[in-house]
């Protein structure tokens, strides 16, 4: 008899860890999941090579994650979003150059998960200002371009780094959702829309 019928084994790691199924996670958090084009999310600010891309967008309750006035260029701030997800560590950073999904006057404020999409390596201290990248990951050297929606530059990962959807009101920065799947959730990023 299965005592945990609503859970599935994590298939991205070898240790004995159980992850909530996508259906049960969505049911308990009340989020809406959909498949969208990057161009719909960031009209006019999507780099050419991404315009045809479809990504999974999960909308979460809007939460404040930082203040514009408190951000120094190229100094990442560790945040957590959304709170109810176990693997929710992220970095909020002002890149100093326009970025896909960037907010603020310079469209240069972005936020990304700090869990590598390959096997969950910690990228919290791996931001490199010279290249505006996260990585190389210390596990298997994947590097992600933070100016281009976290796309993989090199290394073993095949999925972009999940990017937080940000809004600005006055000096306050809010997160409203996540593009891409956080590490530990193994459903395909382009899976069918709206499973709640
Ligand atoms: S865990 Fe980051 S490259 Fe493997």
- Comparing CA positions, the residue from 93, 89, 71 lying closest to residue 178 is 89
The protein residue whose alpha carbon is closest to atom 3 in ligand 1 is: 140
pLDDT at site 86: 54
pLDDT at site 65: 96
pTM for this model (two decimals): 0.75
pLDDT at site 73: 97
Structure tokens at 174: 């809010």
pLDDT at site 30: 52
The protein residue whose alpha carbon is closest to atom 4 in ligand 1 is: 140
Listing DSSP states for 124-187 in one string gives TT-EETTTTEE---TTT--EEETTTTTEEEESS--SPPPEEEEEEETTEEEEEEEESPPTT--S
Please report the atom of ligand 1 found closest to the CA of residue 119: 1
Structure tokens at 133: 């990248």
Ligand 1 center to 136 CA (angstroms): 9
- Comparing CA positions, the residue from 62, 94, 65, 63 lying closest to residue 78 is 65
What does pLDDT average to in each consecutive run of 10 residues of the chain (196 residues)?
42 41 49 65 52 71 95 96 74 97 97 95 96 97 97 95 96 94 61 31
Q: How far is CA 111 from its chain centroid?
A: 7
Domains, the chain, with CATH or none: 7-179 (2.102.10.10)
Cβ of 137 closer than 6 Å to ligand 1, yes or no, is: yes
Distance CA 80, CA 83 (A): 6
């Amino acid at each position: 008899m299965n005592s945990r019928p609503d859970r599935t084994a994590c298939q991205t790691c070898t240790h004995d860890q159980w992850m909530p199924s996508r259906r049960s996670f969505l049911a308990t958090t009340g989020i809406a999941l959909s498949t969208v084009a990057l161009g719909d999310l960031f009209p006019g600010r999507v780099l050419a090579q991404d315009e045809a891309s479809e990504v999974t967008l999960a909308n979460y309750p809007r939460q404040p994650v930082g203040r514009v006035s408190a951000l120094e260029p190229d100094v990442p701030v560790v945040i957590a979003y959304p709170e109810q997800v176990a693997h929710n560590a992220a970095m909020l950073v002002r890149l100093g150059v326009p970025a896909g999904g960037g907010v603020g006057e310079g469209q240069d404020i972005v936020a990304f998960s700090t869990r590598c999409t390959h096997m969950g390596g910690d990228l919290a201290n791996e931001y490199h200002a010279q290249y505006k990248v996260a990585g190389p990951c210390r596990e298997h050297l994947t590097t992600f371009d933070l100016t281009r929606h976290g796309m993989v530059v090199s290394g073993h990962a095949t999925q972009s780094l999940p990017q937080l959807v940000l809004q600005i009101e006055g000096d306050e920065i809010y997160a409203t959702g996540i593009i891409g799947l956080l590490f530990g959730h193994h459903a395909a990023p382009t899976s069918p829309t709206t499973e709640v």
